[in-house]
Amino acid sequence: MPAPDRTAAKEKFMAFLEEKNLRITTQRRAIVDTVFGTDQHFTAEQLLEWARERDESVSRATVYRTLPLLTESGLVHEMDFGKDYKIYDPNYADHPNHNHIICDDCDKIVEFESNKLDELENEISHKLGFSVKSQQLRINASCEEMKKLGECKNKGL
Amino acid sequence: MPAPDRTAAKEKFMAFLEEKNLRITTQRRAIVDTVFGTDQHFTAEQLLEWARERDESVSRATVYRTLPLLTESGLVHEMDFGKDYKIYDPNYADHPNHNHIICDDCDKIVEFESNKLDELENEISHKLGFSVKSQQLRINASCEEMKKLGECKNKGL
DNA sequence: AGCAAATCGAGACAGAGTCTCATTATCAAA
DNA sequence: TTTGATAATGAGACTCTGTCTCGATTTGCT
Ligand SMILES: [Mn+2]
Ligand SMILES: [Mn+2]
Ligand SMILES: [Zn+2]
Ligand SMILES: [Zn+2]
């Protein structure tokens, strides 16, 4: 996947705030700069830590208040990987509907997109009398490297 | 989907326990009878409540200790529907790989199976150097009834 | 500057799930 | 059937993620 334009995402979010008559505060700026300054998936707690490196005054409450705005804007995607915390994906607006394969042995995560999959989901949903609003496919798998090693060196790759 | 043989599932689980040198206690029996006595999806807390109707002495701890055994045995499936609790599906061994469409408006859940989907997942995974161990597709959608009503009467159906 | 409304941080709170530990139940062997 | 090693139990303390409250502050607009 090509490198996305993070500046554009940030500006879109600022416009989103303005449209809803929400204010641009220094804490929100720190959070937003953090979110759109990385390609990585992150947790709420990681976001708090990173944002605090930019502005020490950012609180947990503000992070948790800002995350729903980010997802509502469509620029960040909230995901479940079967853990007891949520994972956020800042690289979403550029790759809508992408999904993930997770290696259970080494925790490696690979992203993919598939038009065939999207079509199939629409087809199935239509047959059952639904219209798709969103979807999330998680494939838990074993990667080649792990098969070769024959042994689980967790997080060793 | 045809009505599954719940007695068989229960016996399989008892065999699973014996194989692992685990004991068959009255509390486990109450839990297992509950699990394989329903077709419905349930939460851990619901299972506790239902099992206590059979044996008042069943504790929360024992329910939470038994659930991993049930999933490990492959007879019950653990799922994420984006809530902050897990949902369990006792109707799994008979319909492996089935997935779910959830109506965001009325919380209706419909199950489906698709060979095409399974094949596509295997194909994609193989291309990326993985071999599938398990998968979970969640489609959030809007159902026909809700579209007709035009308004969200939550849980009204 | 001056004001109303949005936002803030701290920390109390909530809910799902885990862990500890003293006690009890299981089950195979004697 | 007794016995004993050990698996399993319940109560409740605890952890962790996430939410809510509230008094104090900041923002954006005139
Ligand atoms: Mn991703
Ligand atoms: Mn199901
Ligand atoms: Zn791997
Ligand atoms: Zn509906």
Nucleotides on chain C that have an atom closer than 7 A to a protein CB are 6-11, 15-20, 25-27
pTM to 2 decimals? 0.86
Which pLDDT score, from 0 to 100, does residue A156 have? 33
**Tokens of residue B17, six digits:** 């326990």
pLDDT for res B78? 95
If we measure between CA atoms, which residue out of A44, A81, A35 comes closest to residue B80? Answer: A81
CATH class of B99-148: alpha beta
- Counting residues of chain A whose pLDDT is more than 90, the rounded percentage is 73
**DSSP character for B41?**
-
* Mean pLDDT rounded to a whole number for chain A: 89
Q: To which residue do tokens 């897990």 refer?
A: B86
Going by pLDDT thresholds of 50, 70 and 90, the confidence category of residue B96 is confident
Highest average pLDDT, of A133-147, B33-47, B98-112, comes from: B33-47
Strand D contact with B23 (CB < 7 A): yes
Alpha-carbon gap, residue A148 to A151, rounded angstroms: 8
pLDDT (tens digit, 9 = 90+) per residue, B107-152? 788 999 999 999 999 999 999 999 999 999 999 999 877 656 554 4
DSSP SS3 for A132: strand
State the CATH architecture for B7-89: Orthogonal Bundle (1.10)
Is a pLDDT exceeding 80 seen at residue A147?
A: no
Q: Is the CB of B17 under 7 A from strand D?
A: yes
Kindly report the nearest CA distance between residue B97 and chain A, in angstroms. Answer: 11
Tens of pLDDT, residue by residue over A45-85, are 999 999 999 999 999 999 999 999 999 999 999 998 888 89
When pLDDT is averaged across residues A134-147 and rounded to a whole number, the result is: 86
> Rounded to the nearest whole angstrom, what is the distance from the C-alpha of residue A88 to the centroid of ligand 1?
8
Q: If you average pLDDT over every residue of chain B, what do you get?
A: 89
A27 touches strand C (CB under 7 A): yes
Predicted pLDDT at A154: 39
Residue of A nearest to B80 (CA): A82
Q: Please name the amino acid found at residue A88.
A: Y
**pLDDT of A40-50, one tens digit each?**
999 999 999 99
Q: Tell me, what's the pLDDT at A76?
A: 96
**Sole residue written with tokens 């992070």:** A63
**Domain extents for chain A?**
7-89, 99-148
What number is the average pLDDT over the span A114-120?
A: 97
B140 and chain A in contact, CB less than 8 A: yes
Q: Using CB atoms, which residue from B116, B131, B139 is nearest to A125?
A: B139
